[in-house]
């Protein structure tokens, strides 16, 4: 990032020097307000180059892969910042946001897996080295961006699965909490250690954790900052599955394939009903369930499901 920062600063300084003639006093004629075409082009080139540099850096930190034809519809998002144990800094966050937005616009997406390409770590949390150089207002803006990105992940209409091997701490665990399902290896270490740094989990941890494991357990984990292993995480309901170390990816893919065989519209409607229903009263929740059911009623997939059952074959769902 130091190289990127230096390059963008030098580009900016060059554009400013070249465009000093465009700055004017309020009393100058209106014609002097016009920026020359040459300077305008230079500014646009700087902006385009800066965007390209940042997007390129972000794309290297977060990879998106669509699986093979046999697993069409399954998308994997992989964190790839080995030098910092996938710590979430500005560029990695930008990469996550971009990938989640890409998935939200992909009508062929059916299941999303969030994993790590770095051995023995899912995500170590926030980039504390970067944070030390931030002002309080910059930290506030960053945490708000992190919170909104995880909320965007949570709101994706398709099922999401966090694949956890090794450490999932702080913001890393908060990202996993925003997923629908969590699969971990036995050697996983999960926790929200923020109170040890005199702050609190600020990207959804204080809200999603108690909804998942209950208030009492959430208070224990957050007050103490205690870390739990894979088996303990499963026993308290923090993860759905705990498998031998190194096999979380295979288990998550197995689950993704099971989901991928079901009716895509039905899966989306089931996610909506389950996610939104518990937040409202029972009468309203049942009304929501009816609305979601009606969305599946007039689909070709529903008729295909009935036909496949009658003909004793696997259904061929198309999402329409």
Residues with a catalytic annotation lie at: 126, 171, 174, 194
Cβ-proximal residues to 95 (8 Å cutoff; 6+ apart), any chain: 58, 59, 60, 61, 62
Full 3-state SS string of the chain: CHHHHHHHHHHHHHHHHHCHHHCCCCCCCHHHHCCCHHHHHHHHHHHHHHHHHHHHHHHHHEEEEECCHHHCCEEEEEECCHHHCCCECHHHHHHHHHHHHHHHCCCCCCEEEEEECCCCEEECCECHHHHHCCCHHHHHHHHHHHHHHHHHHHHCCCCEEEEECCEEECHHHHHHHCCCEEEEECCCEEECCHHHHCCCCCCCHHHHHHHHHCHHHHHHHHHHCCCEEHHHHHHCCCCCEEECCCCHHHHHHHHHHHHHCCCHHHHHHHHHHHHHHHHCCHHHHHHHHHHHHHHHHCCHHHHHHHHHHHHCCCCCCCCC
């Amino acid at each position: 990032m130091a190289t990127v920062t230096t390059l963008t600063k030098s580009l900016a300084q060059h554009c400013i020097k070249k465009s000093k003639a465009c700055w004017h006093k309020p009393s100058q004629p209106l014609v002097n307000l016009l920026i020359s075409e040459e300077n305008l082009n230079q500014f646009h080139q700087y902006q385009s180059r800066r965007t390209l540099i940042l997007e390129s850096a972000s794309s290297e930190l977060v990879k998106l892969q669509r699986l093979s034809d046999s697993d069409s519809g399954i998308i994997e998002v992989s964190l790839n910042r080995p030098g910092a144990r996938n710590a979430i800094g500005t560029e990695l966050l930008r990469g996550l946001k971009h990938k989640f937005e890409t998935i939200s616009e992909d009508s062929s997406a059916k299941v999303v897996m969030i994993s790590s390409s770095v051995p023995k770590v899912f995500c170590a949390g926030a980039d504390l080295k970067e944070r030390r150089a931030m002002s309080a207002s910059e930290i506030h803006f960053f945490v708000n961006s992190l919170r909104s990105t995880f909320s965007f992940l949570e709101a994706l209409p398709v099922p999401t699965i966090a694949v956890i091997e090794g450490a999932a701490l702080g913001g890393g665990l908060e990202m996993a909490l925003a997923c629908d399902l969590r699969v971990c290896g036995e050697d996983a270490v999960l926790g929200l250690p923020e109170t040890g740094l005199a702050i609190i989990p600020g990207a959804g941890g204080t809200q999603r954790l108690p909804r998942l494991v209950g208030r009492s357990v959430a208070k224990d984990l957050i007050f103490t900052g205690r870390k739990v292993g894979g088996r303990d995480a499963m026993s308290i309901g923090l993860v759905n599955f705990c498998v031998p170390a190194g096999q979380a990816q295979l288990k998550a893919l197995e689950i993704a394939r099971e989901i991928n065989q079901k009716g895509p519209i039905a899966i989306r409607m089931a996610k909506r009903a389950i996610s939104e229903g518990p937040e409202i009263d029972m009468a309203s929740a049942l009304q929501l369930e009816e609305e979601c059911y009606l969305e599946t009623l007039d689909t070709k997939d529903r008729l295909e499901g009935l036909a496949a059952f009658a003909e004793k074959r696997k259904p061929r769902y198309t999402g329409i």
